[in-house]
Amino acid sequence: MVSKRKQSTKSERRNAKKQRINDAFRGESPVIVIPASRIDEPEKRLRVGAYCRVSSDKETQVTSFELQKHEYEEKIREEANWDLIHIYADEGLSAVSAKKRKGFQQMMQDCRDGKIDLILVKNVSRFMRNQAECLTYTQELANLSPPVGVIFENEKIDTRVPGYELQLGLYSAFAQAEAENKSQSIKWANESLWKKGIMYCNTNQFFGYTKDADGKMVIVAEEAQIIRRIYKLYDSGKNVRQIAEWLTTKGIHTFCGGKVWSNTSVRNILKNEVYCGDIIRPKSFTKSLMARKAVRNAGLRESYYYKDHHTPIIDRELWERVQEQLKYRRCAKTNTRKSLRVNRMPDTLGAFIFLDPVWDGYDLAKVKESCFPVLEEGEEGAVECIQLI
């Protein structure tokens, strides 16, 4: 009985509320409306910037890039309360991460410095293809003092309007998925070409080669002379440090135009199979598109080796000899730094140390001195160094 009485009371209250609403709309309202007496303040002038980006330097992309810039210049000037601050642009750069986009970073800095109130961008994918970074940057702009809004024209998203996060999150997730699918498609296409022996080599990244009108690799005579000299010096017993110092002393510029050669630059030339006419792909790969960090392919992924792909600068015999020296010299240096141990096995070569005459930095007297403490009494005469020729 108690439960029924409560339900009845609740129902009556609901019916009474409905009746009051119906009565109020049927009759005249007793409320007096007081008109506004304040004059509207003029709309604030906004300092506006725009951001443009294309992901490659192809001719069609360049056209789009220029059109975007001119379109925003006209659009901002046509708005009565907008002042054009700057058109920020990045050409031929990916939108997965903003770290290497100078135009984008300059725009963000100007916003932090209070120079901009509003940013215009064509769509979410032009702004960022990384969902996490897209939301992070827009939230940072919204939290600035004064806050900076972003208008994504194609998606009709304005971050000055509350509740934009859900819509922007969805569109940025779509943009990221599109980038990942594109990356997988490119990877599949490259591997299909490599399997058939179609391998492209960017000759703008190293000495010795350029490309002809048909895209084939051809030798650059002056640069090839430097490559041959480096290989011959190393084969004669010089180490990478000595070769780097020699190149620097002779005033030979690095591939990037620098005046000082590093050990790494010399070693990379000595290890590059392209100089004996071969090519291998891929030498590195990215574990994650979003991470954008390339790692050396040390057997983690399939690789494709094309022998005699192009005209060599270094004959194969010399190249292979240098590879063996690179391997054994480094191995010898590593072992020597730890300690020199004498073979104490009861055989003909017991207590002998093996040294290669082309290894640099070894002093026979110091080697004997370092080995002496591990010898037992009466074994001093057994310490000798056998040079392998």
Q: Are residues 315 and 343 in the same domain?
A: no
Predicted TM-score (pTM) of this structure: 0.50
- pLDDT bracket for residue 384 (50, 70, 90): very low
- Whether the predicted pLDDT of 292 surpasses 70: no
Same domain, 308 and 357: no
Could you tell me if residue 86 is inside a domain?
yes
Instruction: Pick the range with the lowest mean pLDDT from 19-28, 70-79, 339-348.
Output: 339-348
For residue 22, is pLDDT > 60?
A: yes
Q: How many domains does the chain have?
A: 3
The neighbouring-strand residues paired with 279 are 306
Digit-coded pLDDT (tens) for 110-125: 999 999 999 999 988 8
Give the pLDDT of residue 105.
Answer: 92
Which tens digit of pLDDT belongs to each residue from 195-214? 777 777 777 778 888 888 88
Kindly state whether residues 50 and 168 are assigned to the same domain: yes
Amino acid in the structure at residue 73 = E
Q: Is the pLDDT of residue 306 over 70?
A: yes
Res 304: pLDDT: 79
CATH number of the domain where residue 305 is located: 3.90.1750.20
Domain that holds residue 146: 46-176
Question: Do 209 and 307 belong to one domain?
Answer: yes
pLDDT at 19: 82
Please tell me whether residues 171 and 61 are part of one structural domain: yes
- Does the structure show a pLDDT above 50 at 373? no
Give the CATH number of the domain where residue 72 resides. Answer: 3.40.50.1390
DSSP E strands in 226-348: the ranges are 279-281, 284-286, 294-296, 304-306
- What distance in Å separates the CA atoms of residue 336 and residue 363, rounded to the nearest whole number? 12
What are the tokens at 78?
């046509």
50-65 mean pLDDT? 70
Q: Which of 18-27, 133-142, 215-224 has the lowest mean pLDDT?
A: 18-27
Residue 386 has pLDDT above 60, yes or no: no
Among 156, 176, 196, give the residue marking a domain's end.
176
352 and 305 in a single domain? The answer is: no
Least confident piece of the model among 52-56, 110-114, 328-332, 369-373: 369-373
Residues 314, 357: one domain? no
pLDDT of residue 130: 81
**Could you give the 3-state DSSP secondary structure of residue 323?**
helix
What are the start-end ranges of the E strands in the chain? 46-54, 82-91, 118-121, 149-152, 157-158, 209-211, 217-219, 279-281, 284-286, 294-296, 304-306, 352-355, 384-387
| Predicted pLDDT at 83 | 92
Percent of the chain residues topping a pLDDT of 70? 72
Q: Give the residue from 266, 285, 319 where a domain finishes.
A: 319
The residue among 384 and 251 whose pLDDT is bigger is 251
For residue 211, what are the contacts with CB-CB under 8 A and spacing of at least 6?
A: 203, 217, 218
- Average pLDDT of the segment spanning 142-160: 92
List the one residue out of 201, 273, 262 whose CA is nearest residue 231.
273
Residue 243 belongs to a domain: yes
Percent of the chain past pLDDT 90, that is, above it, reads 22
Pairwise CA distance, residues 2 & 142, whole Å: 55
Whether residues 50 and 162 share a domain: the answer is yes
Residue 193 lies in a domain: no
Confidence of residue 126 (pLDDT cuts 50, 70, 90): confident
Q: What is the pLDDT of residue 331?
A: 62
The verdict on 98 and 209 lying in the same domain is no
Mean residue pLDDT of the chain comes to 77
In the numeric block, which tokens belong to residue 167?
């819509």
Q: What band does 333 get if pLDDT is binned at 50, 70 and 90? A: low
Which region among 62-71, 260-269, 313-322 has the lowest average model confidence (pLDDT)?
A: 62-71
Asked whether residue 74 carries a pLDDT value surpassing 80, the answer given is yes
333 within a domain of the structure (yes/no): no
Instruction: Clarify whether residues 52 and 143 are in a common domain.
Output: yes
Tell whether 161 and 272 lie within a shared domain: no
Using the 3D structure, point to which of 319, 348, 379 is the last residue of a domain: 319
